[in-house]
Every structure is written in C-alpha cells, then in structure tokens.
Homo-oligomer: A and B are copies of this chain.
C-alpha cells in the first residue's frame, strides 16, 4: 500500500543544513501496523510528515496505493507529537473531534454521536463540552487520538501517541488501537519510544538510525493474536524481540558509523 524509496530530506541549506533523512526505504502492506523506533531527533517525525504530504522531501519518493504523494492523501489521519498545538483552542473538545467528520459527509447528529463515542473509548466520557485548555496533558493527547480514531482513516499516522498517559491508560489505548485497526482494516504507522510497546502493538518494528536516518532494522513480530497485555508480554518471543529491538536502537547510538 505504502512505498517509500530512498527518501532523503535536508532542512535548510548551506553550512547550517541538517540532513534529517538519509535514504529511507520502507514498504507497508495494506492493514499492517508498523512501529517505527529510533533515537530522539533522528527523523521519525520528518518521515511521517513526508508521508502525510505536509513536507516536500528533498529526494526520493513516497507512493501510496501506487500514486506518488504530492499533496496530502485522502483518507488519512495523523496524531501529532505536539498534540496540544494540534487541537483548536476555539472549539470544544467535542467539536474538535467532530470537525474532520464533515469530510465524511456525516450530518450533525451523527458527527456528534461519533465524537462522543470516540471520546468514551479513550476514557473521556463527558468531556465533550470542555475546551482543550481545560484538560490535562494526557487528556489532550487522548482527544487527539479520539479525533483520529473517529475519522476511521485508511491510513493512520501516529507520532508518539501514548507518551503522556499513565501506564494503565496506555495499555488500554494500545488495545483500543489494535481493536479499531482490525475492525476497520486500517493501515497504521506508529512512532514510539517504548520498545515494549513497539513489539506489543506492531506487526513489524522498523528501527531507524540516528540522523541522517536510514532503516537499520526491520523485524517481523510473529506473536499470536489477539494480543493480550499479560500473556503476550510473557511470551518468550516477545522477550526476545524486545531485546533485539533494544540492541538495534542502542547500537545505532553507540556506533554512528553504522548509520551511513
């Protein structure tokens, strides 16, 4: 479904230029959930923004469903890393979630209903009428997840979506994501720093090197489904994979030579 080949991106120009992506190759099949991990500042968000068509990479191509991505593709949802800035302060939480649904041609009551349902799913029942700035950080993050989930996109891009919530809520959201994905046949790219999480939710874990980022590891996660927070995490395969990913991430950091 998604094909990225030799993607490079340089921020700025001249001596102050920063090579963020150094030739990323990646293929994602329809319905897959791919986790991307990599050191902080390596270029994960840059990669995601290129896929979303929000940034014109300086080199390489991104094709989605066979067509090159030049502008933002249809039927896409993004959970931004900086969730607080991606919510509109002039709208209530309910309206924030319902707004994208206009694109789906839903009428007002149906939009409302869908928003309420999505907010309930992320544990924010009854918060529709509040404004984003009346919510805690974790709650804001969940609103932006709810907004993406309610949209039911074909492709969902999530940039550290569960970073600001407590452990229990995080697990719930992970399971929610898995559930929604299998119900609606979404393709999901999920950036995370939590190695356990990447193995737990991912069908594949892609490891990026530090900048300029390239793919240094692409592990298939062959864990039996449906996954479960307790049994899956006890599975020896899980433990093995997680150590493997950990080693890759750490390796990249210690040996910058491997990146190029």
Q: Pick out which of these stretches binds chain B: A1-9, A113-121, A161-169.
A: A161-169
Shortest Cβ distance from residue A135 to the other chain B in the assembled complex, whole angstroms: 7
* B38 lies within 8 A of A137 (CB): no
Q: How far is the CB of A74 from chain B (nearest CB, A)?
A: 27
Contact yes or no, B193 A165, CB < 8 A = yes
Query: Is A253's beta carbon under 8 Å from chain B?
Result: yes
User: Could you say which of A25-33, A58-66, A79-87, A95-103 contacts chain B?
Assistant: A79-87
User: Copy number in this complex?
Assistant: 2
Q: What interface size band does chain A fall in?
A: 35 or more
Residues of B within 8 A of A16 (CB): 129
* Distance of A160 Cα from B164 Cα, bound (Å): 8
Return the chain B residue nearest A80 by Cβ.
B137
Asked whether A249 lies within 8 Å of B11 as measured between CB atoms, the reply is no
Contact B82 A142, beta carbon cutoff 8 Å = no
Q: Tell me whether B81 and A164 are in contact (CB under 8 A).
A: yes
Which residue on B lies nearest to A139, using beta carbons?
Answer: B41
Q: Which residue of B lies closest to A140 (CB)?
A: B82
- The distance in angstroms between the C-alpha atoms of A121 and B50, with both chains bound, is 31
Cβ 8 A contact of A193, one of B18, B43, B167, B193:
B167
Whether A81 touches B137, Cβ cut-off 8 Å, given contacts A39-B168, A40-B166, is yes
Instruction: Give chain A's interface residues, CB within 8 Å of chain B.
Output: 11-12, 16, 18, 37-41, 43-45, 81-82, 84-85, 123, 129, 134-139, 142, 159-160, 163-170, 193-195, 246, 249-250, 253
- Per CB-CB distance, the 10 closest pairs between chain A and chain B, nearest first, are A40-B138, A41-B136, A40-B165, A81-B137, A163-B163, A166-B193, A41-B139, A39-B166, A40-B166, A40-B169
Instruction: With A41-B136, A81-B164, A167-B195 given, name 17 new contacts (CB 8 A).
Output: A12-B134, A16-B129, A39-B168, A39-B169, A40-B123, A40-B136, A40-B138, A40-B139, A40-B142, A40-B164, A40-B166, A41-B139, A82-B137, A160-B164, A167-B246, A168-B249, A168-B250
